[in-house]
A and B are shown apart, each in its own frame.
Chain A
Amino acid sequence: MNVPIRALGIATSIFWILLIAFIALSAYSFKDLNFDLGEPQFTTAPDGQLLFSLPLHIYNRGYCSLKEFNLSTVFSDDEGAEISRANTFVPVIPRGENVTIFHNVTLSMDSVLENDAEQYLFNDNNLTASVTAGLTFAELLPTQISTNFTFPWGAPFYNFALGQPSYGRFDLTHSAVSVPMSFENHAAFDLAGDIRVELFDSGGSLLGESQTQFYVPQHSSYDGNLEFHVPLSAASVSAAHNGHFNVYFSTPLFEYGPLVIPYG
């Protein structure tokens, strides 16, 4: 009976040594694993969606390959409603290799503006990003890391304002009304489109309409004037000293309106 017992003991010891060596090797390899985030890039897709691309560099200098690398991000607004979800899957990252992965997130402006459009169009805000990265380390140890962070959202029409209308004569029947318009594009993308403004008097009658095209690169401001031609009559001119504007925004990414701005 001595021999089988001894053989059992020896076999157990050998397996223990192998297991401890494997764990030590895995832990040592973990030390040589580096992740580096590149510069995120925003682009606009032709179908009117916003593409957020995040380059992720993985330097696997350890002794073990990484399997089933999965990166998932969920963007949600300040009320917790999900705006976008994206997954990136890499089957194998071999040992001793550097891999660059592009994690692409598609943000639909319709989803962003769904709950509170004015909050995101005219005010800077924060989106919440939940990031989860999982991988199987050394073929044996499934590992997952997750974090939440706030992602700054720059308003494309930050501080949008229409100034007081100034009146001038256009011709015998119409007067020219000029309205200064300004905003800052705080968004991470260039903005191009049309703005259409309707001018209403205090009685709610439409006096005139103006439309302007704009192109505002990211992080720059816009200053311009809108011209209206209002019929020249005593009643209409006196009524036009106060009233409201209805503003309609049209870009390849979204349509929004009317935004009602009183004047006078």
Chain B
Amino acid sequence: MVEEKKKRKNIVKDISFRVVKATLKAILVYLIYFLLAPVLAPLFGLIPGIMESIEAFVAVYIALMLLSDLTERTIFQYFFSTARALFFMAYLLFSMGNGVISTSYENFSLTVNLTLFYTIAMTLSLLGFASTILQAINFMSERAEATSGLQPPQKA
């Protein structure tokens, strides 16, 4: 009875810790966006609609990050992390196309070649995606080991 009460108390403590951690991480990411947005505004201001699109992206990204943190130490954590990595790559792909952004203002036409930035960002996203897949495989293998009672061989 005492043990069950203690276990329930631990679950509540664990969930509250996850909520606090997820909230703090979400606030931190939003804070970074909040601080960077005015700095990037002069550049992005030249491209109509990009700021609204970035806002939507940040909202979805934070939501997926929150869900991933809340479902920590379950397989769903990796689902949401993978979804987040895929969403990031899809956003980059659709928003930047071939990496060359062109915009016109009155009689002026501005073209910015972001191919190099795009390549680096895509590579890092792929690394993030690979990392979540590896984490999921690791999680599943650890869980399989735990349920089967097999333990990894100990070094002498």
Q: Number of contact residues on B: which range applies?
A: 20 to 34
B109:A30 contact, CB within 8 angstroms: no
B138:A1 contact, CB within 8 angstroms: yes
Interface centre among B112, B116, B141 (most CB of A within 10 A): B112
A12:B128 contact, CB within 8 angstroms: yes
B131:A27 contact, CB within 8 angstroms: no
A28:B39 contact, CB within 8 angstroms: yes
Query: Which residue of chain A lies nearest to B127 when distances are taken between CB atoms in the complex?
Result: A12
C-alpha spacing A8/B135, complex, angstroms: 11
Q: Is the C-beta of B150 less than 8 angstroms from some C-beta in chain A?
A: no
Q: Is the C-beta of A37 less than 8 angstroms from some C-beta in chain B?
A: no
B135:A5 contact, CB within 8 angstroms: yes
Q: Which residues of B contact A15 (CB under 8 A)?
A: 120, 124, 127
B112:A141 contact, CB within 8 angstroms: yes
Q: Which residues of A contact B43 (CB under 8 A)?
A: 26-27, 30
B42:A30 contact, CB within 8 angstroms: yes
Q: Is the C-beta of B114 less than 8 angstroms from some C-beta in chain A?
A: yes
A12:B109 contact, CB within 8 angstroms: no
A143:B113 contact, CB within 8 angstroms: yes
Q: Nearest chain B CB to A25's CB is how many angstroms away?
A: 9
Contact mask for chain B residues 111-136; partner A; CB cutoff 8 A; 1 contact, 0 none: 11110110011001001101100110
Q: Is the C-beta of A166 less than 8 angstroms from some C-beta in chain B?
A: no
Q: Is the C-beta of A142 less than 8 angstroms from some C-beta in chain B?
A: yes
Q: Is the C-beta of A145 less than 8 angstroms from some C-beta in chain B?
A: yes
Q: Is the C-beta of B110 less than 8 angstroms from some C-beta in chain A?
A: yes
Q: Is the C-beta of B56 less than 8 angstroms from some C-beta in chain A?
A: no
Task: Specify the main secondary structure of chain A where it touches its partner.
Answer: helix
Q: Is the C-beta of A222 less than 8 angstroms from some C-beta in chain B?
A: no
C-alpha spacing A116/B51, complex, angstroms: 50
What is the number of residues of chain A that contact chain B, defined by CB distance less than 8 Å?
28
Q: Choose one: A5, A16, A149; the contact of B107 (CB below 8 Å).
A: A149
B131:A8 contact, CB within 8 angstroms: yes
Q: Is the C-beta of B2 less than 8 angstroms from some C-beta in chain A?
A: no
A8:B117 contact, CB within 8 angstroms: no
Query: Which residue of chain A lies nearest to B121 when distances are taken between CB atoms in the complex?
Result: A19
B40:A141 contact, CB within 8 angstroms: no
B124:A19 contact, CB within 8 angstroms: yes
B111:A19 contact, CB within 8 angstroms: no
A-B contact pairs, 17 of them (CB 8 A): A2-B138, A8-B127, A9-B131, A12-B124, A15-B120, A19-B117, A19-B124, A27-B40, A27-B43, A30-B42, A140-B116, A141-B113, A141-B114, A141-B116, A143-B110, A143-B112, A148-B107
Q: Give A contacts to B, CB under 8 Å.
A: 1-2, 5, 8-9, 11-12, 15-16, 19-20, 23-24, 26-28, 30-31, 140-149
Q: Give B contacts to A, CB under 8 Å.
A: 32, 36, 39-40, 42-44, 107-114, 116-117, 120-121, 124, 127-128, 130-131, 134-135, 138, 141
